[in-house]
Amino acid sequence: MIPDKDTRAKEARAELEERIRERRIVIGIIGLGYVGLPLAVEFARQGIRAIGIEIDEDKVRQIQEGRNYIRDIDDAHVRELVADGTLSATSDYAACADCDALFICVPTPFTENKDPDIRYIVNASAKIAEHLKPGQIVILKSTTFPNTTEGHVQPILENSGLKAGQDFYLAFSPERIDPGNQKFHTGNTPIVVGGLTPNCTELACAVNRLIIDQIMSVSGPKAAEMSKLLENIFRSVNIALVNELARLCDRMGGINVWEVIQAASTKPFGFMPFYPGPGIGGHCILIDPYYLSWAAREHDFVTNFITLAAEVNESMPFYVRDMITRAIARQPVTMADARILLLGVAFKRDVDDLRHSPALKVMDLLLADGVVNLEYHDPFVPAMELEGREMTSIPKLTPDVLRQFNVVVITTDHTVFDYEMIVAHSKMVIDTRNACKEVAAESDNVVLLGDGR
């Protein structure tokens, strides 16, 4: 007798559960970037076969050759896991058919007008649909607006002829990785899971439990999608608040915002410190608020608070440009002749990620203002392109190098920088990160964002 649909679905689920329990499950990771590769490596390190499916041939080749390209991952892990066959990479979606669980970890950028651009999710889902098999589970990890999983991914996957929640399983489980964080990594960071059905949630939790200790399940994908946006918008709003306060302290004079934040931080409850800076960057905090603002418009809802925070944060590179312009004006040199050095172009400390870095925006603005002699030093970013211009990092920061510049701007506070040397040998330092706090007190050549001097 041919088993009916329900029986087949039950059998498929039982088979998946057994494979998870016996750790025979094969994981497919779509997109081997800052999120996907650490996830694949974490599964592989737990002895679970992980296949990366990546459209960037160069990344595929590097993994196939056992070479790592993400800073937080140990090179030896990639080498050994590839050598023993636990970790592999391909650009061929046919590999989906060998997998039990598929994690989608593709980018979610915005368009020029800052509307969500989910075409990577759409493309990945369409390719998965071509190979989808009964009993597989698909877990979307890319940060996106509520209803992406049900409204966009589900119908595309169902074009396969299989039904979500019945023939295959679908869940949203946002990523929380914090590149450069020495304490929290994939394995010890709790995650949120929201499945389309209770079965989907349970199975998605079971797969994740193979590598992650703490999992919080929520009622469905929409709650999980919204929770991720809340986390990042929370940061955006609080950073905007301290950015505004920093500018107020500058205006008032005589109050150092960094001291104020430190003082407020002694309150053991109800306060969490956030710090001002030259603006926000990276693939998350800058972009994600726009995803929610866009989704809200469909419901005749204007997210005033979120939009205001984005406006304040995005004005910060302009504010830093103005600080630099004033610093130059105090010297016997014109903007066209001034020599300006930016220290740190990555979007945050100790990472090599340039995406939406506020330092690049500051550089853009300076170039637009006619600055010609603009250079940077960043040990994490040896070379980069800015507005079609190839730039290379000044290889070594020395007293002689520092003395050549009219203004040295600390845009990213990498820990490897020698701040004592920077302050001692620069004509003028603009510190947007309070990086020189230990050495600046006795120096009159440091202009600190948010202390009104």
Ligand X SMILES: NC(=O)c1ccc[n+]([C@@H]2O[C@H](COP(=O)([O-])OP(=O)(O)OC[C@H]3O[C@@H](n4cnc5c(N)ncnc54)[C@H](O)[C@@H]3O)[C@@H](O)[C@H]2O)c1
Active-site annotation, residues: 284
Closest separation in Å from C-beta 241 to ligand X: 22
289 contacts ligand X (rule: CB under 6 A) = no
# residues contacting ligand X (CB under 6 A): 26
Residue 409 · residue 339 · CB < 8 Å: no
Q: What is the largest CA-CA distance in the chain?
A: 92
Two tokens at 14? 């039982």
Closest separation in Å from C-beta 235 to ligand X: 12
Contact pattern for ligand X over residues 176 through 195, marking x by CB under 6 A:
-x-x----------------
Closest separation in Å from C-beta 155 to ligand X: 17
Nearer to ligand X, 281 or 450 (CB): 281
356 contacts ligand X (rule: CB under 6 A) = no
157 contacts ligand X (rule: CB under 6 A) = no
124 contacts ligand X (rule: CB under 6 A) = yes
438 contacts ligand X (rule: CB under 6 A) = no
- The phi and psi torsions of 131 (rounded to 5 degrees) equal -120, 5
Closest separation in Å from C-beta 76 to ligand X: 22
Query: CA distances (Å), 427 to each of 63, 359, 424, in order?
Result: 46, 20, 9
Q: What is the DSSP string of 125-190?
A: HHHHHHH--TT-EEEE-S---TTHIIIIIHHHHHTTS--BTTTBEEEE------TT-SS--TTTS-
Residue of this chain nearest to ligand X (CB atom)? 33
Closest separation in Å from C-beta 59 to ligand X: 6
d(CA 31, CA 36): 6
Nearer to ligand X, 54 or 451 (CB): 54
Nearer to ligand X, 125 or 201 (CB): 125
Q: Give the number of C-alpha atoms closer than 13 A to the C-alpha of residue 350, restricted to the C-beta side.
A: 8
* Residue 139: strand pairing partners: 103, 171
148 contacts ligand X (rule: CB under 6 A) = no
d(CA 365, CA 377): 18
Nearer to ligand X, 53 or 261 (CB): 53
| Positions that interact with ligand X (CB under 6 A) | 30-36, 53-56, 59, 105-108, 120, 123-124, 142-143, 175, 177, 179, 283-284
